[in-house]
């Protein structure tokens, strides 16, 4: 095992306000020791332990690895024509998801895996050390289970999104029954979370509720694609059922903001989607001012968000969403960790931090199904980095 000591950091973001300035817990004159590609120690440079190698950061900042709490990486094909139509004035409706479903079903396991490897590497190069990966382009028992099996090779943060849209050849209520029954049973051994696209044209409030409750009964934590294309019941449902996150949150009423405020549900904002679909951005300031916990994530997918880059999402958020650079960095690290109910990533771990209150409303990493917990991935691009001071 080779250890590396990084010194001369301009500042170090700990995300632990007890350790340094502001919500980022900024420390100066700090150092980091990395062992086996993971943070093994942080502290004052003067107290740094000896290491095999040294690197001078030349005044650059040190940050926790980005936590991307929302990504759809298991897919095949592309939707360039849909993008071109959108840039010519067509709105994004989510209808193109079925195009990706057809390409994904036709792809081999190896082709799907290669796509995840490509995007995971791209994300890692840009600082993402923890990533959530959803299914949602299989939409049959076998294809959803296959997608999640592949996703689980790369991350513990796997999400069953059989309720992405209703396949073209299925009747909606009948399909929801399958999602809640046979499909969930086949997928839950590989999934930690269940998600639903609660939106006009996808699943309504009652259908979404049925999917989430069935997922919860199967031992999964809850996440919701909510209020992306218009106002709707998604956010309220997410809060009512104690979901870890309501994702998108683009069209919110005052009641939605009030519901999120004081709840354990994180608002995960996905500016890559607004950028790629040329839609209005969500208002982060409105949420932050109401005391809502905000996460930033990429939503990387072939239809509505063409980026795996958390730095790009931070830049978009600062430019378009009334959030400061410091708040955006916090949302992309500690916020993402909260959205995944993780206390071992996105920040300097501190035994005194009040993380337990967030774990209560849902499943923490430690309560993932044994089948998920047991799996240990040997891939070098797998996300198991964490702050371990």
Among ligand NIG, Fe ion, none, partner that 227 touches (CB below 5 to 8 angstroms by kind): none
Look up residue 133 and give its two tokens: 């990966």
319 annotated among ligand-binding-site residues: no
Rounded to the nearest whole angstrom, what is the least distance from the CB of residue 161 to ligand NIG in the complex? 8
Nearer to ligand NIG, 231 or 369 (CB): 231
Distances 325 to 57, 144, 318 between C-alpha atoms, Å: 21, 38, 6
21 annotated among ligand-binding-site residues: no
Among ligand NIG, Fe ion, none, partner that 43 touches (CB below 5 to 8 angstroms by kind): none
Q: Is 157 in the site for Fe ion (CB under 5 A)?
A: no
Among ligand NIG, Fe ion, none, partner that 302 touches (CB below 5 to 8 angstroms by kind): ligand NIG
Q: Is 299 in the site for Fe ion (CB under 5 A)?
A: yes
251 annotated among ligand-binding-site residues: no
> What mask of x and - would describe binding to Fe ion in positions 259 to 298, judged by CB under 5 A?
----------------------------------------
Rounded to the nearest whole angstrom, what is the least distance from the CB of residue 242 to Fe ion in the complex? 20
> What mask of x and - would describe binding to ligand NIG in positions 213 to 242, judged by CB under 6 A?
------------x--x--------------
- Residue 285 pairs in a beta bridge with none
- Residues 293-332 binding ligand NIG (CB under 6 A) are 299, 301-305
Kindly state the number of chain residues that form the binding site for ligand NIG, as judged by CB under 6 A: 14
- Residues 116-145 binding ligand NIG (CB under 6 A) are none
Structural contact between residues 191 and 148, judged by C-beta atoms closer than 8 angstroms: yes
Q: State the residue number with the nearest CB to ligand NIG.
A: 303
- Residues 73-112 binding ligand NIG (CB under 6 A) are 94, 96-97, 100
Q: State the residue number with the nearest CB to Fe ion.
A: 299
Look up residue 51 and give its two tokens: 């290491």
Nearer to ligand NIG, 85 or 326 (CB): 85
Helix H, strand E, coil C: the string for the chain is CCEEEEECCCEECCCCCCCCECCCCEECCEEEEEECCEEEEEEEHHHCCCCCEEEECCCCEECCCEEECCECCCCCCCCHHHHHHHHCCCCCCCCCHHHHHHHHHHCCHHHHHHHHHHHHHHHHHCCEEEECEECCCCCCHHHHHHHHHHHCCCCCCEEEEEECCCCCCCCHHHHHHHHHHHHHHHHHHHCCEEEEEECCCCECHHHHHHHHHHHHHCCCEEEEEECCCCCCCHHHHHHHCCCCEEEECCCCCHHHHHHHCCCCCEEEECHHHHHHHCCCCCCHHHHHHCCCCEEECCCEECCCECCCCHHHHHHHHHHHCCCCHHHHHHHHHHHHHHHCCCCCCCCCCCCCCCCHHHHHCCCCHHHCCHHHHHCCCCCCCCCCCCECC
Rounded to the nearest whole angstrom, what is the least distance from the CB of residue 386 to Fe ion in the complex? 24
Rounded to the nearest whole angstrom, what is the least distance from the CB of residue 305 to Fe ion in the complex? 7
Distances 35 to 52, 124, 255, 264, 292 between C-alpha atoms, Å: 10, 17, 47, 34, 35
Rounded to the nearest whole angstrom, what is the least distance from the CB of residue 88 to ligand NIG in the complex? 17
364 annotated among ligand-binding-site residues: no
- Residues 261-290 binding ligand NIG (CB under 6 A) are 273
Q: Is 132 in the site for Fe ion (CB under 5 A)?
A: no
Rounded to the nearest whole angstrom, what is the least distance from the CB of residue 50 to ligand NIG in the complex? 47
Q: Applying CB under 6 A, which residues contact ligand NIG?
A: 94, 96-97, 100, 197, 225, 228, 273, 299, 301-305
Q: Applying CB under 5 A, which residues contact Fe ion?
A: 299
Residues annotated within the binding site are 70, 72, 79, 137, 164, 225, 228, 299, 301, 303-304
Residues annotated within the binding site for N-formimidoyl-L-glutamate are 137, 301, 303
């Amino acid at each position: 095992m080779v250890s590396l000591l990084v010194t001369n950091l301009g500042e170090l973001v700990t995300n632990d306000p007890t350790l340094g300035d502001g919500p980022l817990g900024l420390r100066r004159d700090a150092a980091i020791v990395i062992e086996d590609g993971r943070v093994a120690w942080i502290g004052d440079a003067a107290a740094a332990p000896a290491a095999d190698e040294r690197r001078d950061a030349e005044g650059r900042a040190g940050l926790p690895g980005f936590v991307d709490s929302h990504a759809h990486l298991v897919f095949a094909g592309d939707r360039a024509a849909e993008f071109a139509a959108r840039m010519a004035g067509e709105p994004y409706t989510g209808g193109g998801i079925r195009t990706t479903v057809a390409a994904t079903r036709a792809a081999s396991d190896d082709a799907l895996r290669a796509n995840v490897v490509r995007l995971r590497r791209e994300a890692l190069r840009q600082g993402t050390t923890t990533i959530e990966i959803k299914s949602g382009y299989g939409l049959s028992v076998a294809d959803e289970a296959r997608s999640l099996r592949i996703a689980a090779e790369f991350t513990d943060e796997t999400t069953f999104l059989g309720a992405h849209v209703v396949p073209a050849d299925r009747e909606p209520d009948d399909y929801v029954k399958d999602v809640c029954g046979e499909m969930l049973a086949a997928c839950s051994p590989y999934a930690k979370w269940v998600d639903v696209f609660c939106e006009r044209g996808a699943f309504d409030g009652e259908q979404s509720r049925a999917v989430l409750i069935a997922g919860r009964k199967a031992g999964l934590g809850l996440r919701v694609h909510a209020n992306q294309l218009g106002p709707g019941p998604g956010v309220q449902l997410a809060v009512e059922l104690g979901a870890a996150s309501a994702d998108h949150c683009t069209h919110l009423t005052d009641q939605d903001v009030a519901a999120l405020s004081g709840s354990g549900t994180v608002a995960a904002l996905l500016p890559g989607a607004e950028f790629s679909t040329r839609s209005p951005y969500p208002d982060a300031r409105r949420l932050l001012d109401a005391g809502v916990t905000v996460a930033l994530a990429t939503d990387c997918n072939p239809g509505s968000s063409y980026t795996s880059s958390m730095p790009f999402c931070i830049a978009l958020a600062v430019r378009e969403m009334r959030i400061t650079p410091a708040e955006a960095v916090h949302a992309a690290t500690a916020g993402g960790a909260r959205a995944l109910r993780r206390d071992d990533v996105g920040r300097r771990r501190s035994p005194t931090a009040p993380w337990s209150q967030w774990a209560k409303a849902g499943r923490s990493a430690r309560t993932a199904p044994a089948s998920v917990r047991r799996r240990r991935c040997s891939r070098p691009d797998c996300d198991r980095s964490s702050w371990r001071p």
